[in-house]
Amino acid sequence: MTPPITSAPARVLTPRRAAPADSVRPTRAEISLSHLRHNLTELARIAGTPVWSVLKADAYGHGAKAVARTLERAGSRGICVALIEEGIELREAGVVVPILVMSGHYGNAWPELLRHELTPVLSRVDQVRSLAEEVRERAGPAHGVHVKIDTGMARLGVPPSELESFAGVLRQHPELRLEGLMTHFASAESDAPFVELQLDRFDRATRLLEQLGLRFRVRHAANTAALLAHPRARLDLVRAGIGLFGLAPGVAGVSGLRPAMRVRSEVISLRTLAAGASVGYGATFRATRESRIATLPMGYGDGLSRALSNRGHVLVRGRRAPIVGAVSMDLTSVDVTDVPGVQIGDEVVVLGSQEGPLGSDTLSAEEIAAHGGSIAWEVLTGISRRVPRFYRED
């Protein structure tokens, strides 16, 4: 006889990140805590309203636990994550400010959400009912929630046509306390008229819910681009993500933000190739002259995109050197023929700034993304967990 299937509490296991103490090879990501604090202060100054830090995807690759503790002490009023697992990780790291879980409610995870005092964003009536049932069974106080309104993103959120019926279900469950309303912009970086349209829809949805007897404390909509470019979108709080890490893609005239991540490695091999010799898998690069080729211990397994093969650059001795051949999983070759004096052990910067004996230069996440046909967000979040993060104050 087949035993009955029972529902067990969710177990959340977070993959362990490589720590500096585990590091043998010289490849690492350096995170400036002072730049994080500066960016938070600058964004709060511009917004003129409380900032909640969006730290999903391991704080955009910067390391969520260290970043969250730093920003909490620096005055972030709350934290936003995508998944319940991400929120649990921060609670277990000692973070006490409110944590808003914006999109990750899967399986039997409500007990863990309640136990760790996380605030969910709801957008379906089945979520309302199942969470309310869990709160009722625990015989605890009403649990705070936010509700997301779909104003044009068309992913998550209550569609305007369903808002009245959704509100009716929510009113039937006093176990839940409505604390906030939110929406999400589709094109805050590039389409001001659509931002205005979404805000108009959000205002109409707000008035409808108020007419239906629902009350809430805050409304929020703005991401980094919206808080910088659209004052109307700042509302009661702003959700700053990429701006905390020093980027403001698509928003002109913002110069006060400082990149927080720098990724560096070292030259571990040097060789001279004759004209006509090839480099790497598939022989996709052939030297047109006698060339000096350096190898660094970083590849696509670490987040150096394979799309940068024969297209991207690194910095060596303060000068750009092109990536040649195919980026492999663990190693990458660069042409240092035009960089005099390169030796084994020289620093190689993959992302960020370098000052060297031949000058100074910067490789921004936006530039790397453009070379690789990607976006800056993916460049940052793509730096893998096997690259240790070193946290610095300068």
300 is catalytic: no
281 is catalytic: yes
- For β-strands 119-122 and 347-356, DSSP reports them as unpaired
377 HSE (CA, 13 A, CB side): 12
Asked if 146 contacts 120 with a C-beta cutoff of 8 angstroms, the reply is: yes
Q: What is the DSSP string of 68-102?
A: HHHHHHHT--EEEEEEHHHHHHHHHTT--S-EEEE
- For β-strands 218-220 and 176-182, DSSP reports them as parallel
> Catalytic residue among 56, 60, 65, 300, which?
56
Q: What is the DSSP string of 50-70?
A: -EEEE-HHHHHTT-HHHHHHH
> Catalytic residue among 60, 281, 300, 391, which?
281
Residue of 255, 262, 244, 249 whose CA lies nearest to 38: 244
Residue of 119, 115, 173 whose CA lies nearest to 147: 119
Asked if 83 contacts 101 with a C-beta cutoff of 8 angstroms, the reply is: yes
* Catalytic residue list: 56, 281
